[in-house]
Amino acid sequence: MYDKRITDEKCEDDLKTIIKAGTKIKGDISGSNEVYIEGELQGNVKLDTLLFLGKNAKLKGKVEANNVVIEGKLEGDIFAKNMIELRATANFNGQVICKRIAIEEGAYFHGEVKMDDGQNLTPMYFNEKRKDLKKK
């Protein structure tokens, strides 16, 4: 069992690219900087680092990233080199390939999870007991 969560080491304030609520983008995003989305994106995301979808975020497209945290809505497939974390407000519909996945009680998940070697993976469920990291 893993005790550390994706954002334990880094607060969202440290992220380099922010798409704020009210912003709508059609197109693909790629790069090596971490991305925090509160707005809407219709397109694919390919990052070497973290993708964080905030509570207001709506993403429709394929995601490739090192780590993915979902608080908002994502419709599409995810390939994470490391870990995916669905928080209580998450709404996910798609296929997942990753090394680890954590799903907080209350999150909506509809799809299939596989390990990056193609084998089925059993999700780890949790109840959030920490303070909201964004309120630091």
| Structure confidence by residue, pLDDT tens digits, 10-40 | 544 554 789 999 999 999 999 999 999 999 9
Q: Give the 3-state secondary structure of 59-100.
A: EECCEEEEEEEECCEEECCEEEEEEEEECCCCEEEEEEEECE
Both tokens of residue 76? 């599409």
pLDDT bucket at 136, cuts 50 / 70 / 90:
very low
pLDDT of residue 51: 97
Domain ranges of the chain: 6-135
Q: What is the pLDDT of residue 123?
A: 63
For range 53-57, the mean pLDDT: 97
pLDDT digits (tens, 9 = 90+) for 101-128: 899 999 999 999 887 666 666 666 667 7
Q: The whole model's pTM is what?
A: 0.79
Phi-psi bin for 43: left (phi > 0), alpha (psi -120 to 50), beta?
left
Evaluate whether 126 touches 104 at the Cβ level (below 8 Å). yes
